[in-house]
Amino acid sequence: MDRIKIVGGNKLNGVIPISGAKNAALPLMIASLLTDDTLTLENVPHLADVEQLIRILGNHGVDYSVNGRRERQDGAYSRTIHFTARNIVDTTAPYELVSRMRASFWVIGPLLARMGVATVSLPGGCAIGTRPVDLFIDGLRVLGADIEIENGYVKASAKGGLVGNRYTFPKISVGATHVLMMAATLAKGETILENAAQEPEVVNLADCLNAMGARVRGAGTPTITIEGVTSLSGARVRVIPDRIETGTYAMAVAMTGGDVILEGADGNLLSAALVTLGQAGAEISETNSGLRVVRNGHGIMPVDVTTQPFPGFPTDLQAQFMGLMTKAKGTSHITETIFENRFMHVQELARLGARISLSGQTAKIEGVERLKGAPVMATDLRASVSLVIAGLAAEGETTVNRVYHLDRGFERLEEKLTRCGAVVERISD
């Protein structure tokens, strides 16, 4: 099993290219199930989750081809992938595939809308809370689906087709917003989704669906209106830059010091996080090629943060920000409101010398002057990269085990950091 060795103490200087967003690419790929034409996606990142979803879509009969794979001097991929679901050969998504990645459950929406039937295993993925599928099921039922849960599978049918309706999410869910928006594109009549997620990835999907001939309005606001159409066509769509990767590398620069251009980054996608980083002492400015991040000479200042749905501070940057706060000049507090079990990185950060105490949903971080390298274990995708951030500033050597978590969401992380002066090495047993 691979692990990453980090020797801390080096500032980051140079250019880090920002990849396409995993959280945008996955629903866009799934949208290919809605049409028998070809959906072409540009700027698709090369990640374990993307490759796994390609296998899952292949199980349903989706053909794919890759072109434009371009090895850039800075080590990043830029891939264009063509997806064609001309014939859906199987409407079942089996446990052995779905259990490996939570987002693969989302195929239930397009399969049900296009084929009138779908059988999908209950999902797996990161162990950061229950994240139940109740909202997906309730919403699809409102659109006219008959749904039963048997032997760990969600069995859905809508033999006469889905029918537009009004659905109010009892709590904001990005995944459920994706699924119901896709399902409603082929439903009869108008669907109104209230209290919908406003994340940029939702807007990217809506833009894709509209390019395919859908009629979606209001994406990026709490109310999304979808007027159903009889069929969708192919399209060519670009995956937005990864705002979580952007924030992660910005925090790495804030942690280590230095001066880095985040090439291709879009500050509008994570303004709340950038404001918070500014309060912590990073200087962030827009450039012609992306964002420039510089750590000022006054050290890291403590900042209190509460995670919120977009446009608030994202839960997917909570662990990374906690890593940064371990070396702040004072005490900070981080309150996690999205997932109930997303503090598993705390005990691993403590192995590096961090002083963190938990009380319910809130972590109290007392900044320390020095972190010291140690072997640590990644517990999930975002937790794993928080350990990398801490390791970059720790004295001596840090070894992060279970880096397959990193490979799910960060494209060529060690190469990008190494090119900016970090000492990071992947070790394969």
Active site residues: 126
Q: Are 331 and 364 in contact (CB under 8 A)?
A: yes
Of 42, 28, 53, the closest CA to residue 264 belongs to 42
Distance, CA of 211 to chain centre: 23
| CA atoms of 296 and 292, how far apart (whole Å) | 13
| CA atoms of 124 and 233, how far apart (whole Å) | 31
Does the annotation flag 132 for ligand binding?
Answer: yes
Does the annotation flag 403 for ligand binding?
Answer: no
Does the annotation flag 114 for ligand binding?
Answer: no
C-alpha distance from residue 137 to each of 86, 185, 338 (Å): 27, 17, 20
| CA atoms of 52 and 57, how far apart (whole Å) | 9
Does the annotation flag 134 for ligand binding?
Answer: yes
Does the annotation flag 429 for ligand binding?
Answer: no
Write out the two tokens for 239: 């995956």
Write out the two tokens for 80: 């264009």
Per-residue buried b or exposed e for 300-339, using 16+ beta carbons within 10 Å of the residue's own CB:
bbbbebebebbbebbbbbbbbbbbbbbbbeeebebbbebb
**What count of other Cβ atoms lies within 10 Å of the Cβ of residue 258?**
19
| CA atoms of 131 and 168, how far apart (whole Å) | 18
Q: Side chain identity at 57, as an amino acid letter?
A: L
Does the annotation flag 309 for ligand binding?
Answer: no
Does the annotation flag 23 for ligand binding?
Answer: yes
Q: Side chain identity at 81, as an amino acid letter?
A: I
Does the annotation flag 87 for ligand binding?
Answer: no
Does the annotation flag 402 for ligand binding?
Answer: no
Does the annotation flag 242 for ligand binding?
Answer: no
Q: Are 183 and 110 in contact (CB under 8 A)?
A: yes
3-state SS string for 282-309: EEEEECCCEEEEEECCCCCCCCCEEECC
Of 205, 218, 151, 150, the closest CA to residue 179 belongs to 205
Of 89, 95, 96, 120, the closest CA to residue 106 belongs to 120
**Which residues contribute to the annotated binding site for phosphoenolpyruvate?**
22-23
Residue ranges for the known binding site are: 22-23, 102, 131-135, 316, 338
| Binding-site positions for UDP-N-acetyl-alpha-D-glucosamine | 102, 131-135, 316, 338
